[in-house]
A and B are shown apart, each in its own frame.
Chain A
Amino acid sequence: MSQPSPSEAGLERLQRDALGYFLRTANPENGLIADSSRPGAPCSIAATGLGLAALVVGAARGFVPRREAAARTLAALRFFRDSPQGEEPDATGHRGFYYHFLDMTTGRRIWDCELSMIDTAILIAGVLTSGNYFSAASDDEREIRELARLLYERIDWPWAVHGGRVVSMGWKPGMGFLTYGWEGYSEAMLLYLLGLGSPSHPLRADSYGAWTATYQWENLYDVDFLFAGPLFTHQLSHLWIDFRGIRDPFMREKRSDYFENSRRATLVQRHYAVRNPNWLEGYGERCWGFTSGPGPGFGKQRGADGLERQFYGYAARGVPFGPDDGTLAPWATLASLPFAPEIVLPALDHFRTTYPDVTSDDGLLTSFNPTFDAGDGSRTGWLCGEHFGLDQGPVVLMIENYRSGLLWSLMRDCPAFVTGLRRAGFREGWLLGSGR
């Protein structure tokens, strides 16, 4: 096996390139971040939240002057404070939550999209990161702290449960709540912890129990872990929360913790790629990374091996149940860096040397599919031509957590998370010494 690379400098380069996405695609007037680099892409509130957290890393690393980072942050926070909340179909949000996609200029809802609970949680996690990081006495930084508190505290989390037990996935004006709620292990851990931690409108403690009721503790490829297929579901909450050594009742029962669980989930991804049950191109020890995201598009193609394969567009790709069409997401591999550096770094090295077109000065491209014949004879096959905020954010944050643990240590002092973790039943570890 080759020497793991890139070096520290190489990781910093990747971080800086990924951060560039948020600087390039932001609307400086309102701080909103585009969903993707595609011209005309709308704002994604989740990307905006990730961008806020990435700015903190940028400021801490000196990639962005602190004052500029504060100004960009303030533009976003002021926008969310002032933008319309209500039941009208073109508002920005309702009851403290926000619509999934907003117009980059006006900040109004577009595409008849849903008021999204999980995307609001990602936004608010970014907002709270800003609130915790910008601790100086300057007017700007004081205002950031105040707005962060205001935006968090005005979210009406219990409303999103609407009489049931779990948080709904969304709501639409004139139609009401979407029929499905957040159940079973996923990225929604973040959502529940923020909801439980609210000092103004907290979720009931039993909502966490309702969420964990559908947890599946599985033995797959001789690995015992809390199952979820797509890799990013094992990463998202970990962008902010250091789960090492803290455990909720479920993890106490299983004698594990969520950090260890994400490590195992990462190992399972590699096991799957080595098995490569569908004979897809490139898979192996150093070539894995399966998660939700874009793909070549829905259609069939007959490969050189004579096999006809089904390809998909955007899909929740996961291990081991697919859909597996050969699409790989290097950013997701990289975002597992803190969990399993000994397998992530060689994989990253492999991506860079074998499929050099997946890297660019603008950051890692979202996904590629070497099984798909793009007609250009390239080894990379289909290559997603865009960058997405949802991919670039975890790259910035997880490299930082690997290098310095910045986000994790910062958010240990965030009352929202500390209270949320405690109300969810987390004990031990760093929570013992953490103030409320």
Chain B
Amino acid sequence: MSPTVSEDPHVELLPDDPYDAELLANVRPAGWTNPPPARRYNLVVLGAGTAGLVAATGAAGLGAKVALVEKDLLGGDCLNVGCVPSKAMLRAARLYTDLDDAARFTGSVLPSPAVDFTAAMERMRRLRAHLSRRDSAERLHALGIDVFLGEASFVDRRRVEVGGALLAFEKALIATGSRAARPGVDGLEAAGYLTNETIFNLTERPRRLLVIGGGPLGCELAQAFCRLGSEVTIASQEPYFLPGEERDAAEILAQALRRDGVDVRLNTVVKSVAREGAEKRARLVNYDQDVTVAVDEILAGVGRVPNVERLNLEAAGVAYDLERGVHVNDFLRTTNRRIYAAGDVALEQKYTHAADATARLVIQNALFRGRKRLSSLVIPWCTYTDPEIAHVGIYVRNARERGFPLKTFTVPMSDVDRAVLDGEAEGFVKIHVRDGTDTILGATIVARHAGEIINEISLAMVAGIGLKTLEQVIHCYPTQAEAIQQAGDAYTRTRLTPRLKALSRRWLAWSRRGR
């Protein structure tokens, strides 16, 4: 058994930065000594990202003996190189845009402040370090969790080895997450590029940035870097951003990026990259148009691949593949009935909140013989561009394929008083109901705070609340979420048939007849 951490984390942080030092002290403390393993654990969790942390702390809180193994940083992608740092950056970028836009509110043009990229990144590191306390090794230890830092691999169907220690389990959870996919562009590896794992280490703003990929990460960071003063080109081989999202939403996003000054190149393949001196030259091909752009940095956001390697899953009898990750059934159980998987390593929906929800499901199913199903979860998602794009439930396309007649109640944000007053009238709320009923099947929201607004729809879907009831819920005036009540109002008006209208008119005429 090795008493100390044997490997360096592969995620790099800034070695001399006090905030990163604080972060490391929390999520990868130097000199950490792995505890002696218990005789047997109720739950051994592989991976201390969102899914692993939620499962470990939840199970420990219920009295389970839990071991949590992490090979890199506690907190996983979300805390260290994902949602947390990116949203801190996005907030700074949004502020600079608001300052630029101040004339809309003040009536006069204010001098634009010089963007302090270095300060924005320092703020990000400070906030990340602050939030990392919740995921610290010390706190987990205090909760009674045996924290093992090191690489885990299965020895057989009921044991995991980490740093020479053997952890015997009743149940195990694979929550090893995912990592950025490699773009496979000629010359890119040699020229060097950034991913979400490295871009937050920048302390100087790249003057010119090429973003490869039009998914959530690419769109969010393309907009943020542009707003922070980089000249940004974004290339996506798809005809629309956020493939799979509703087209109106994707078009509004493309408009927003162009308006911000991003050089938007859709239907465009990055054919090759070559380093020439200090700059990188990328060849972009759009059908038969072939151009070369010179940039200082390249960010690749072309999807995620599950972390399934080096776990020796074969020894545990866990089926997997390199693309989909660990195979699970609707109860999140793998092909080894003692082993479950949650989060990015097993899910198509690679979101922090999906990892969280599936981890909770695993606690019930693995430890308490629950029968909770993945398919019963209502998982919303949001891309945090400006405006934000949020979705939950069904898409129109899926509804028709499954034979549901669908009707969409659309409220442009320009019809919502608070959005107008806030100067945030771009976007819409679209709520899909089963036609002829008020049963909500899904929604897409494009709005500056779409991620906040969609939660009400998710609640309604989980609780089986219809659009008619949402109309009866008194919403504070003025708020942007009133858009949902307005959709409910529109629904109610569609129920007022000509016959009902005639009846109502006759009743009211009779009521005022006088005596």
Contacts and interface: CB of A to CB of B under 8 A. Distances in A.
Interface of A: 112, 114, 172, 174-175, 178-180, 184, 212-220, 222, 224, 227, 229, 253-254, 275, 277-278, 298, 302, 306-308, 310, 320-323
A133 B355 CA distance: 65
Contact of A320 (B259, B288, B414): B414
B410 A219 contact: yes
Contact of B288 (A175, A215, A253, A306): A175
B428 interface: yes
Given A217-B406, A277-B414, A321-B248, A172 B287 contact: yes
Contact of A222 (B107, B401, B408, B490): B490
Per CB-CB distance, the 8 closest pairs between chain A and chain B, nearest first, are A277-B414, A180-B239, A218-B408, A220-B410, A213-B400, A320-B412, A219-B409, A218-B410
Given A112-B288, A172-B288, A321-B251, A217 B408 contact: yes
Nearest to B408: A218
A209 to B, nearest CB: 9
B238 interface: yes
Given A218-B410, A219-B494, A321-B252, A307 B288 contact: no
B1 interface: no
B267 A179 contact: yes
A350 B165 CA distance: 84
A212 B405 CA distance: 12
A224 B430 contact: no
B397 A213 contact: yes
A220 B413 CA distance: 12
Contacts of B400: 212-215
Interface string B223-266: 00000000000000111000000011001100100110000000
Given A175-B287, A179-B237, A323-B255, A215 B396 contact: yes
Given A175-B288, A218-B408, 11 more contacts: A112-B288, A178-B267, A178-B287, A184-B247, A215-B396, A218-B410, A219-B410, A219-B491, A277-B412, A277-B414, A302-B103
A391 to B, nearest CB: 23
Contacts of B314: none
A277 to B, nearest CB: 3
Interface of B: 101, 103-104, 107-108, 237-239, 247-248, 251-252, 255, 258-259, 267, 287-288, 396-397, 400-401, 405-410, 412, 414-415, 420, 425, 428, 430, 435, 490-491, 493-494
Nearest to A170: B287
B430 A275 contact: no
A220 B238 CA distance: 29
Contacts of A278: 414
A307 B104 CA distance: 6
Tell me which of B103, B248, B415, B425 has the highest count of chain A C-beta atoms within 10 A of its own C-beta.
B248
Contacts of A216: 396, 408
Contact of B239 (A175, A179, A227): A179
26 contacts: A114-B287, A172-B288, A174-B288, A179-B239, A180-B267, A213-B400, A213-B401, A216-B408, A218-B410, A219-B408, A222-B490, A222-B493, A227-B408, A254-B435, A277-B412, A277-B415, A277-B425, A298-B258, A306-B107, A307-B103, A308-B103, A310-B259, A320-B410, A321-B251, A321-B412, A322-B252
Nearest to B420: A277
Contacts of B238: 179
A185 B408 CA distance: 15
Nearest to B288: A112
A178 B239 CA distance: 9
B408 A253 contact: no
B414 A224 contact: no
Nearest to B419: A277
Contacts of B259: 310
Contacts of A254: 435
A275 B288 contact: no
Nearest to B427: A321
A184 B250 CA distance: 14
Contacts of A253: 405, 435
B288 A218 contact: no
B287 A217 contact: no
Contact of A224 (B103, B248, B412, B494): B494
Chain B CB count within 10 A is highest, among A214, A215, A254, A302, for A214
B476 to A, nearest CB: 22
Contacts of B397: 213-214
A56 B341 CA distance: 68
A27 B490 CA distance: 53
Contacts of B493: 222
A395 to B, nearest CB: 28
Contacts of B396: 214-216
Contacts of B415: 275, 277
B255 A217 contact: no
Nearest to B248: A321
Contacts of A184: 247
B253 to A, nearest CB: 11
A180 B267 CA distance: 9
A283 B490 CA distance: 24
Nearest to B289: A112
A213 B398 CA distance: 8
A323 B257 CA distance: 13
Contacts of B107: 306
Nearest to B436: A253
Nearest to B412: A320
B280 to A, nearest CB: 26
- Give the one of B287, B405, B491 with max A CB within 10 A: B287
A175 B491 CA distance: 48
B452 to A, nearest CB: 21
Given A214-B396, A321-B252, A323-B255, A219 B288 contact: no
A217 B407 contact: yes
B431 to A, nearest CB: 10
A202 B491 CA distance: 41
